[in-house]
Amino acid sequence: MLSFSFIQPDDFHLHIRDDVLMHAVLPASAESVGRAVIMPNLTPPITDIAMALAYKARILAALPATTAFQPLMTLYLTEHLSLSTLQEVAITPDILGIKLYPAGATTNSDAGIQALESIYPLLETMEELGIPLLIHGEIPHFDVDMFDREPAFITQQLEPLTRRFPLLRVTLEHITTQDAVQFIESAPAHVGATITPHHLLYNRNHMLAGGVKPHYYCLPILKRERHREALVKAATSGNPKFFAGTDSAPHLQSKKESACGCAGIYNAPYAIALYAEIFDQALDLSLPASQKRFESFMSRHGAQFYGLPLNPTQITLTQTPVAVPIHIDTPLGPLIPIRAGEMVGWKVEKIEER
């Protein structure tokens, strides 16, 4: 049976929610990744340093005292963010960066940014201070087609923004298109991107052919096959600008299976296994060189991009089939995980010092 060890991965884009739901979903990440970048789109959003530190304390309090898991916090960018807060962020290692949601783009994004021009002074200061800007890259206007929202954002907003602020550190989050891959490839080294397991595994037919499947609905929405292929090529290329960020985004079954279902795929318990499936299919993980490629995407590129040390631990994966339950119970009701009722091909066997 195929088995290999590699540096413990991180998750550079994770929603763990708060309170009861956080207690239900946090262990899956804390038991598999060394660090996770925690998204700030709570209600109310995490808009200042005190809120972020309090949220971090709630996360750590929900874990065993012995946990090595480190939450890397983000602030939700609003037009009210002050320049003095940015100065403080720059010297607060608990906070990794600032998250930009275009207003209306996704879950709890109403407090986001209406017009990028309004935050130019903030971006200028972030550029000077070297604070990363994490971007949900879509134009959420009704007159922009759902499937064109990411490319439209790149050409209409992101390209001009990176020209205006050429040294601004930017992560384009959860990229979904060939257009995004090309943009990142041609951008400077301080502009990178996260890629989710679901956008590497699925295209829009998985969501729409033969019936509407709400558990495949996430934002940015799944695209056509040629875009998925471009993402697989980018993720497995060895290019250090691309790295793992699950965008695991749990919503209760009742909120997903609804006349107006929430966007988000809950993948955290199976994310590493699913990334391994993708790499195995593309590169054959029985080859040591392919295992190294996998380690780079999962465990090195993101840490290098953010200037963090590599995790001091290693993880062992075996090619063992694991059955995914049809639902995962929480005190608030069931969650439906990715691959519910089916199999994943890999299992996290152990995590130890390396």
We find the least distance from the C-beta atom of residue 3 to ligand NCD, in angstroms, to be 32
CA 320, CA 181: separation in Å to the nearest integer?
32
Window 25-54: residues binding ligand NCD (CB under 6 A):
41
Residue from 56, 136, 199, 339 that binds ligand NCD (CB under 6 A)? 136
User: Residue 37: helix, strand or coil by DSSP?
Assistant: strand
Residue from 249, 268, 272, 283 that binds ligand NCD (CB under 6 A)? 249
Nearest to 89 by CA among 132, 120, 118, 57: 132
**DSSP tag of 118:** G
Q: Active site includes 247?
A: yes
**Residue from 11, 48, 247, 280 carrying the catalytic annotation:** 247
By CB under 6 A, residue 264 contacts ligand NCD: yes
Please identify, using beta-carbon distances, which residue of 170 and 249 lies nearer to ligand NCD. 249
We find the least distance from the C-beta atom of residue 265 to ligand NCD, in angstroms, to be 7
Sign of CA dihedral 318, 66, 61, 332: positive
Neighbours of 118 (CB within 10 A): 11
By CB under 6 A, residue 218 contacts ligand NCD: yes
Q: Which does 144 bind (CB under 5 to 8 A by kind): ligand NCD, Zn ion, none?
A: none
Beta partners for residue 191, in sequence order: 170
Window 60-79: residues binding ligand NCD (CB under 6 A):
none
Window 99-128: residues binding ligand NCD (CB under 6 A):
106-107
Please identify, using beta-carbon distances, which residue of 112 and 345 lies nearer to ligand NCD. 112
- 187: alpha, beta or left, given left = phi > 0 and alpha = psi -120 to 50? beta
CA 88, CA 131: separation in Å to the nearest integer?
11
- 70: alpha, beta or left, given left = phi > 0 and alpha = psi -120 to 50? beta
Please identify, using beta-carbon distances, which residue of 172 and 283 lies nearer to ligand NCD. 172
Indicate the residue whose CB is closest to Zn ion: 247
Residue ranges of E strands in the chain: 3-7, 11-14, 35-38, 70-76, 95-100, 133-135, 170-172, 191-195, 242-244, 313-318, 322-323, 343-344, 347-353
We find the least distance from the C-beta atom of residue 109 to Zn ion, in angstroms, to be 10
By CB under 6 A, residue 227 contacts ligand NCD: no
We find the least distance from the C-beta atom of residue 250 to Zn ion, in angstroms, to be 11
By CB under 6 A, residue 15 contacts ligand NCD: yes
Name the residue with tokens 């056509």.
Answer: 224
Residue from 10, 247, 277, 295 that binds Zn ion (CB under 5 A)? 247
CA 273, CA 344: separation in Å to the nearest integer?
7
Containing H/E element for 27?
Answer: helix 19-30
Stretch that binds Zn ion, among 146-154, 176-184, 241-249, 290-298 (CB under 5 A): 241-249
Containing H/E element for 46?
Answer: none
Please identify, using beta-carbon distances, which residue of 134 and 348 lies nearer to ligand NCD. 134
CA 326, CA 329: separation in Å to the nearest integer?
10
Residue type, 130: G
Residues marked as catalytic: 247
Which residues sit at the interface with ligand NCD, rule CB under 6 A? Answer: 15, 41, 106-107, 136, 218-219, 247, 249, 263-264
Which residues sit at the interface with Zn ion, rule CB under 5 A? Answer: 247
